[in-house]
């Protein structure tokens, strides 16, 4: 699984304020690690606007809707929760996501 891939991910079995249901998510763990491990790290997306950096950043249109990466929702998931690839972030979108992740995690 390539870093920056946008995938359908099943995030069910959660409790508020965790994000649940099947929704697009962005793979942010490294491609080399993703080839070896049975899990990936994803940032879920939401169609709820607006962009609020560094907590929510616009990443384009996925799943038929304008999408925002929800940085606090970052989580590790088993690859068995992945339901298919929707697309891939472009270099500028991935850089914006990385900047928000860096600001949020520091």
pTM of the full structure: 0.92
Q: Which of 44-48, 50-54, 62-66, 89-93 has the weakest average pLDDT?
A: 62-66
Q: How far apart are CA 102 and CA 96, in angstroms?
A: 10
Q: Tell me how many helices (H) and strands (E) the chain has.
A: 2, 7
Mean pLDDT of the chain: 92
CATH architecture for residues 5-105: Roll (2.30)
- 92 pLDDT higher than 80: yes
């Amino acid at each position: 699984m390539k870093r920056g891939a946008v995938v359908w991910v099943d995030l069910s079995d959660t409790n508020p304020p965790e994000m649940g249901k099947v929704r697009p998510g962005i793979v942010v763990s490294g491609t080399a690690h993703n080839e070896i491990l049975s899990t990936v790290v994803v940032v879920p997306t939401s169609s709820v606007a607006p962009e609020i950096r560094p907590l929510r950043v616009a990443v384009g249109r996925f799943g038929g809707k304008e999408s925002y990466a929800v940085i606090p929702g970052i989580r590790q998931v088993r690859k068995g929760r992945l339901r298919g690839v929707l697309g891939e972030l472009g270099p500028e979108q991935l850089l914006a996501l990385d900047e928000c992740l860096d600001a949020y995690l520091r």
